[in-house]
């Protein structure tokens, strides 16, 4: 089980939202300074999300520069937000991203997962973002897809993704802990690489997710609020 710290960007500034809602949570400041701290603690990966691009589908040159600068620190960048065409995917990989997370594009065109992986040479994760009712959200969680979790994971498996980033949207940023029974079900439905995101609040949560077979967990609010110390987190780097 690896812990992957997250850096969420809104208008060029690092933030942490609660349940994806704009204006909630923490305003953290310069994303590069945060990435430098992550590198100092020996992490291999960082999860970078452009929240504006996730909502609007438009990736800015500023974000590309941030990705490039973070990769230049020696971190491997797992990037999500606005990856809705192979052109954008190629730009991100040219600017240093190692792994792309595709959310809004694949439910409408599942073939984009394998196509993006083939064209860019980057790993490609399908974002499977489950709402409390079992349906999948997209477009920065502003729209709901007519797909339930089990159907989404089947489609992803059939269409050549490198793996899945599974998110429990209803606990994201809340420090409420994951719903382990639902996480267990998701993990049982997909045999490949699967990372978890949503509400991780303690090392106990990490250990529980690891015992369910998750390969990695994305952690943000727990680190930035001090619920998990950077020293503790680095044991899972």
**Contact (CB, 8 A) for 77 and 71:** yes
What is the reported pTM? 0.93
Q: What fold characterizes domain 2-236?
A: TIM Barrel (3.20.20)
Domain ranges of the chain: 2-236
pLDDT in tens, 62-109: 999 999 999 999 999 999 998 999 999 999 999 999 999 999 899 999
Evaluate if residue 142 carries a pLDDT over 80: no
184 contacts 212 by C-beta, under 8 angstroms: yes
Residue 140 has pLDDT above 90, yes or no: no
Beta-carbon count within 10 A of 65 CB = 13
Given a contact cutoff of 8 angstroms between Cβ atoms, the answer to whether 203 and 228 are in contact is yes
Q: Which two tokens stand for residue 146?
A: 């007519």
Confidence of residue 56 (pLDDT cuts 50, 70, 90): confident
Answer for the pair 109, 161: CB distance below 8 angstroms, yes or no: no
Q: What is the pLDDT averaged over residues 116-132?
A: 96
Is the pLDDT confidence value at 172 over 90? no
pLDDT over 70 for what percent of the chain? 97
Range 43-57 average pLDDT? 91
Q: Is the pLDDT of residue 126 over 80?
A: yes
pLDDT confidence of residue 19: 61
């Amino acid at each position: 089980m690896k812990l992957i710290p997250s850096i969420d960007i809104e208008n060029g500034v690092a933030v942490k939202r609660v349940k994806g809602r704009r204006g909630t949570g923490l305003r953290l400041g310069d994303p590069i300074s945060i990435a430098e701290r992550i590198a100092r603690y020996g992490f291999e990966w960082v999860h970078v999300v452009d929240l504006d691009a996730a909502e609007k589908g438009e990736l800015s040159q500023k974000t590309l520069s941030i990705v490039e600068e973070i990769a230049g620190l020696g971190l491997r960048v797992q990037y999500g937000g606005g990856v809705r065409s192979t052109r954008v995917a190629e730009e991100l990989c040219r600017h240093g991203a190692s792994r792309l997370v595709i959310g809004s594009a694949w439910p409408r065109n599942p073939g984009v997962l394998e196509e993006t992986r083939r064209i860019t040479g980057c790993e490609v994760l399908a974002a499977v973002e489950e709402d409390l009712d079992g349906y999948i959200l997209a477009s920065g969680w502003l729209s709901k897809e007519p797909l339930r979790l089990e159907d989404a994971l089947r489609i992803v498996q059939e269409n050549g993704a490198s793996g899945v980033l599974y998110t429990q949207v209803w606990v994201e940023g809340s420090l409420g802990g994951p719903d382990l029974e639902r996480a267990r079900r998701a993990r049982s439905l997909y045999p490949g690489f699967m990372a978890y995101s949503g509400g991780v609040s303690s090392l106990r949560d990490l250990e529980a997710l690891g015992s369910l077979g998750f390969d990695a967990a994305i952690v943000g609010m727990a680190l930035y609020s001090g619920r998990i110390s950077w020293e503790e987190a680095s044991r899972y780097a």
